Structure 1
Amino acid sequence: MDTQAAPSAPRVVLVTGGARRVGAAIVRRLHEAGCRMAIHCHGSVAPAHALAEELNSVRPDSADVFPANLLDVPLLAPLVGAVVARFGRLDGLVNNASTFYPTALGQVDEAAWSDLVGTNLKAPLFLTQAAAPALRASGGGVINIVDIHAERPMPGYLVYSAAKAGLLGLTRALAIDLAPAVRVNGVAPGPIEWPEDDQFPAAERQRIVDHTLLRRTGSPRDIADAVRFLLLDAGYVTGQVLAVDGGRSAHLS
């Protein structure tokens, strides 16, 4: 998506897990930038339709919903095909959908492995592969939502940390294999939005914030702004992963 050669039609971007939380913030930010939004969802169908309705009230025919189970690989090519059939093109893919929970060594089972590696690594690979022809045709871009713990694993989150490490490597490998037509970058969040299931007690949250250089949590908008920059404005950037973490990874041990 070189800004020197902007397409005549609005860019179309598919965001996985785009119905809620950080995904919804990314969808709204890219929509503000003039993109037409393909909102992927799995379980959050009602919030996805509500978000699409919100965006279409601002700019008619600018958003639609595309449900799919990303762990079902044969469904990924049809998912991309449905987006292209609906909007006529695909200019960007944001691999945001993720599962996140602890897996202590000695208690890891195959179900957790399949789920965590599936959503955080396998699905981004196979969905990007399915989207590659459309992205090459548009000169588009891919953004993977990685994690600062891809490089500095989080204790007790063995499989998640390993999966995100794989996604970091995949980001750089895809940048090589999709060059020069498609740029591939990543955004690595730090403490942005706490899990909804109270995995982190208040004391642990405070400890994490205290170890962050800016001494505060970030917001989903911070991630969305980074995605917008890398996808729409950074025409000479590829194969990079940008930490958006308030400086936490600068001295994370």
Structure 2
Amino acid sequence: MSSASPAPVMLVTGGARRVGAAIVRRLHGEGARVAVHCRHSRDEAEALAAELNARRPGSVAVLQADLLDTAVLPALVSAVVARFGRLDGLVNNASSFFPTPMGRMDEAAWTDLVGSNLKAPLFLSQAAAPHLLATRGSIVNIVDVHAERPLHGYALYCAAKAGLLGLTRALAVELGPAVRVNGVAPGAIEWPDDGQFPPAAQDAVVRHTLLGRVGEPDDVARTVVFLLCNAPYITGQIIAVDGGRSAHL
């Protein structure tokens, strides 16, 4: 990123932990100022901000909000702009992920999974759009390889991510030519920390991954940074970061 112009400002939802934190670290390392959104992980977000602000004072801020409450999303964007003076990029990373077997799906699961994976990215992007148009900024949505190749037992999650895939392309149409909108579709990057995938299930996934291993959060982060900062002629695209798994699912 050029030092001749103001450091760009990026908002990363769900940026306190796991892949989100890797995205925050990578963007910060590239010279960006970063707004780290969190919902419950305030302590982790504050620790990450303290770590990065020690390297570059005032470059990271923490903002807490429940993205399922769409009424607060304009205020979340306004808080970023009030803190840093502009907005150049939005990473819609925050996501719920849990199984919804047939016969056991309910309205609460719908509200959570569709709300976090589709509704919130839509309304947050809408709130951010005027600021991104002003800076000729960019949006990156974190999709999933299972948006196109559903995972058994996770129908609602897969449907929500399929919606996000479609939304990514639709927003590229709506916001072009000034704002680029792309998606990153991770495969096996980090296993859920709640035991959803026992060792046998993990081994089965790795066996179907062409590179024969699980990826790292930074694999996603590097791709996000590329799309946000180094891909001026790419929009409306979904890049799979999955070790080749989707090539033969």
TM range (shorter): over 0.9
Q: 1:81 aligns with which of 58, 73, 78?
A: 78
> Which aligned runs of 4 or more in structure 1 are off by greater than 4 angstroms?
none
1:108 aligns with 105
How do residues 9-88 of structure 1 correspond to structure 2 at under 5 angstroms? 9-88=6-85
- The number of residues matched between the two structures is 249
1:203 aligns with 200
Q: Percent identity?
A: 67
| AA aligned opposite 1:219 | E
Could you tell me how far apart the structure 2 residues matched to 1:156 and 1:68 are?
29
Q: 2:174 aligns with which of 167, 174, 177?
A: 177
1:249 aligns with 246
Give 5+ residue unaligned stretches, structure 1: none
* Cα root mean square deviation, aligned: 1.1
Could you tell me how far apart the structure 1 residues matched to 2:55 and 2:14 are?
21
Deviation at 1:8, TM superposition (A): 1.0
Q: Which has the higher contact order (CA 8 A, sep 6+)?
A: 1
Secondary structure in structure 2 of the residue aligned to 1:40: strand
Listed one character per residue, the Cα deviations across residues 7-33 of structure 1 (whole Å, up to 9, x for unaligned) are: 710000000000000000000000000
Q: 2:126 aligns with which of 111, 115, 129?
A: 129
Could you tell me how far apart the structure 2 residues matched to 1:114 and 1:79 are?
20
Could you tell me how far apart the structure 2 residues matched to 1:159 and 1:105 are?
10
Deviation at 1:6, TM superposition (A): 8.8
Could you tell me how far apart the structure 2 residues matched to 1:213 and 1:46 are?
37
Listed one character per residue, the Cα deviations across residues 204-242 of structure 1 (whole Å, up to 9, x for unaligned) are: 100100110000000000000000000000000000000
Q: 1:153 aligns with which of 150, 153, 158?
A: 150
1:215 aligns with 212
Deviation at 1:157, TM superposition (A): 0.2
Deviation at 1:122, TM superposition (A): 0.2
Taking structure 1 as the reference length, the TM-score comes to 0.97
Give 5+ residue unaligned stretches, structure 2: none
Could you tell me how far apart the structure 1 residues matched to 2:165 and 2:113 are?
15
2:117 aligns with 120
Could you tell me how far apart the structure 2 residues matched to 1:69 and 1:7 are?
36
| AA aligned opposite 1:242 | I
| AA aligned opposite 1:81 | S
